[in-house]
């Protein structure tokens, strides 16, 4: 086994999105392509309702997948496929925009803390214009593995210790796990060699070996290549999201909520959205 080292550390930048939501963008447009196949990670966690109340009203997506994970609170989802509902603490949604989807994501609460993450995953050119899909992932369907010295791992996508998460058949073979390591405990976690991998710390502080320094909440560690990630928690429990996926290695043309391979594809997408034919590709499938 080859232990991955940290190649770079990122901290979220205050950003305003949607109708005025204040969030922290951990990585995004300026980091392409070093996170390939991942495009963006937003942390919209806040204890102040004024930060999240504006929400994300109806808007389009094409050419990507989005994964929204709610840790505390609730968000309400609606889309052009007819899906609607509320995702609460421990729930997630994995949406493949494909050839085009229009949706809204609004807070499912008026007061109290809201904590969640949204990850954008690129789609390979050959399936960018595939039919959109929506997966509603309830907390009770997310298995938890307990490994090592009491390390608890909620597995949303991927497999660990013979336990497989509910998100499957995604093109980039993603791993998405919510991991809590007890204070002073350590663990080595397998990650597929050649896949991009990162850890985003939600709480506590820990060492991601070898030769690392403590990484605390709100920071992301991007790893070099290797077959495992070794972690040691500090004096309090360490909680982090571990994500990995197969790089696509294709050109990225990105504007707002649409990610294609060429500027011409972008131009066509926005023209279709303006003239009302954006969803016609779905009708043809």
Question: Cβ atoms within 10 A of the Cβ of 17, count?
Answer: 15
Query: CA-to-CA distance for 80 and 86, rounded, in angstroms?
Result: 16
Nearest to 185, CA basis, from 149, 145, 147, 146: 149
Q: What is the pLDDT of residues 25-65, one digit of tens each?
A: 999 999 999 999 999 999 999 999 999 999 999 999 999 99
For 6-245, which CATH superfamily applies? Jelly Rolls (2.60.120.10)
Domain ranges of the chain: 6-245
Phi, psi of 261 (to 5 degrees): -105, -20
Q: What is this structure's pTM?
A: 0.96
Strand-strand pairing, 144-147 and 151-157: antiparallel
The encoded tokens of residue 257 equal 């909520």
pLDDT at 284: 67
Q: How far is CA 209 from the centre of its chain?
A: 23
Q: What angle (nearest 5°) sits at the alpha carbon of residue 208, between those of residues 206 and 210?
A: 135
pLDDT at 210: 79
DSSP string, 206-243: EEESSS---EETTEEEEE-S-SEEEEEE-SS-EEEEEE
For the cut 70, the answer to whether the pLDDT of residue 21 exceeds it is: yes
DSSP string, 26-64: EE-GGGTTTTTTEEEEEE--BS-HHHHTT-EEEEEEBSE
Residue 140 confidence class, pLDDT cut points 50, 70, 90: very high
The pLDDT > 90 percentage for the chain reads 96
Strand-strand pairing, 159-160 and 163-164: antiparallel
The pLDDT > 70 percentage for the chain reads 99
For the cut 80, the answer to whether the pLDDT of residue 211 exceeds it is: no
Q: What angle (nearest 5°) sits at the alpha carbon of residue 134, between those of residues 133 and 137?
A: 140
pLDDT at 212: 81
């Amino acid at each position: 086994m080859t232990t991955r080292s940290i190649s770079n550390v990122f901290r979220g930048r205050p950003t305003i999105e949607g109708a005025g939501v204040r969030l922290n963008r951990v990585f995004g447009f300026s980091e392409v392509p070093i996170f390939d196949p991942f495009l963006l990670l937003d942390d919209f966690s806040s204890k102040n309702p004024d930060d999240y109340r504006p929400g994300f009203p109806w808007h389009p997506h094409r050419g990507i997948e989005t994964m929204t994970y709610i840790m505390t609170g609730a968000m309400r989802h609606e889309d052009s496929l007819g899906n609607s509902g509320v995702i609460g603490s421990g729930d997630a949604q994995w949406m493949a925009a494909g050839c085009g989807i229009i949706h809204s994501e609004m807070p499912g609460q008026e007061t109290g803390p809201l904590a969640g993450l949204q990850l954008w995953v690129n789609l390979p050119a050959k399936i960018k214009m595939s039919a959109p899909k929506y997966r509603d992932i309830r907390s009770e369907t997310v298995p938890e593995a307990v490994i090592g010295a009491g390390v608890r791992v909620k597995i949303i996508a991927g497999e660990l210790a013979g336990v497989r998460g509910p998100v499957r058949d995604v093109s980039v073979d993603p791993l998405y796990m919510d991991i809590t390591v007890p204070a002073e405990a350590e663990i080595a976690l397998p990650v597929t060699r050649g896949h991009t991998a990162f850890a985003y710390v939600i709480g506590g502080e820990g060492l991601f070996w070898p030769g690392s320094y403590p990484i605390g909440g709100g920071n992301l560690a991007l790893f070099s290549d290797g077959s495992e990630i070794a972690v040691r928690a500090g004096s309090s429990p360490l909680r982090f999201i571990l994500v990995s996926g197969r790089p696509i290695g294709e050109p990225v043309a990105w504007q707002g909520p649409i990610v294609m391979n060429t500027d011409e594809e972008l131009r066509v997408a926005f023209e279709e959205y303006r003239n009302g034919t954006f969803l016609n590709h779905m009708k043809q499938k």
